[in-house]
Amino acid sequence: MRSDHHSHLEQSGASDESIQQVHTRLQAQKPEKKEGNPRFPLVLLGITCAAIFFGSIYLAHYSSRFDPLIYNENQKPVKQAAGGPVITPAMLGKRVFTANCVTCHQATGQGQPGVYPPLAGSEWVLEPQHEKHMIAIVLHGLNGPITVKGNSFNSAMTPFGGILRDEQIANVLTYIRSEWGNNAPPITPEQVAAVRAELGARGPFTVQELSNLK
Ligand code: HEC
């Protein structure tokens, strides 16, 4: 269109000045061009990105891969209703035990003779000098020979440090220390966190390595 105008004006011997006037007029007729896409302003884009970002962080932190037995968006125990049933760490620990430990150590805590050692009456669960060992076993797993209540076992336990939070490990250990006639003090999340921090990333322990722990 514009080049048509151009050549037409040139043929008719128009002066530079009149060409410029025509250009100015054509320029004024052109619709005004707006910046960006008016239907999706930059601010909205920013808010959407922020929402997706925080949503992902929240899910990664709290979903526990949506395991129905683990998923709990309230990291702290549920608030007690006045006069309602009291929810103790041991009760929360029983849920963790049922989801993660019961297949081997059994609901009775007796394990299976020759295969899975008992937790009921176990010196590894009850005795103060084994407290750190017990936490280490659940965090990192155990391989090779171990003697429990005078019986030998030589198998492997998988690590749980990667799938259970400090609070969940503390709760399950508090549970196994207070169930089946066991009676040893509770384990706190802070104790688990301290052992986790001290040991760092590593493979399963042997009993020999446990006894070398300071
Ligand atoms: C796949 C089976 C299996 C699962 C699941 C399992 N354990 Fe074990 N656990 C074992 C075996 C086997 C040993 C002995 C390992 C060895 O022989 O070196 C053991 C050893 C232990 C010990 C020390 C020995 C004793 O009997 O006192 C503790 C404490 C323990 N497990 C606690 C747990 C807790 C708590 C869980 C759940 C978070 C758990 N285990 C889940 C198989 C399992």
Per-residue pLDDT tens over the stretch 168-182: 999 999 999 999 999
When the pLDDT of each residue in the chain is averaged and rounded to a whole number, the result is: 86
Q: What's the CA gap between 86 and 79, in Å, rounded? A: 9
Residue 169, CA distances (Å) to 97, 133, 145, 182 in order: 9, 13, 24, 17
Q: What's the CA gap between 138 and 20, in Å, rounded? A: 85
* Residue 91: predicted pLDDT: 96
- Which residue from 123, 139, 137, 115 is spatially nearest to 182, judged by alpha carbons? 123
Q: What's the CA gap between 156 and 26, in Å, rounded? A: 84
Residue nearest to atom 7 of ligand 1 (CA): 157
Is the model more confident about 69 or about 118? Answer: 118
Residue 97 alpha carbon, nearest atom of ligand 1 = 37
Q: Looking at residues 65-84, what average pLDDT do you find?
A: 62
Handedness of CA 160, 70, 189, 200 (dihedral sign): positive
Q: Of 54-58, 101-105, 177-181, 190-194, where does mean pLDDT reach its minimum?
A: 54-58
Q: What's the CA gap between 200 and 205, in Å, rounded? A: 13
Q: Looking at residues 195-210, what average pLDDT do you find?
A: 97
Amino acid at 135: I
Q: For residue 3, is pLDDT > 60? A: no
pLDDT band at 17 (very low <50, low <70, confident <90, very high): confident
* Domains (range + CATH), the chain: 89-212 (1.10.760.10)
* Residue 9: predicted pLDDT: 45
Q: What's the CA gap between 177 and 184, in Å, rounded? A: 5
Ligand 1 environment, Cβ below 6 A: 100-101, 103-105, 116-119, 122, 124-125, 134, 137-138, 142-144, 146, 148, 153-158, 160, 172, 176
In the three-class reduction of DSSP (H, G, I as helix; E, B as strand; rest coil), residue 7 is classed as helix
* Residue 108: predicted pLDDT: 98
Residue 122 alpha carbon, nearest atom of ligand 1 = 27
Q: For residue 129, is pLDDT > 70? A: yes
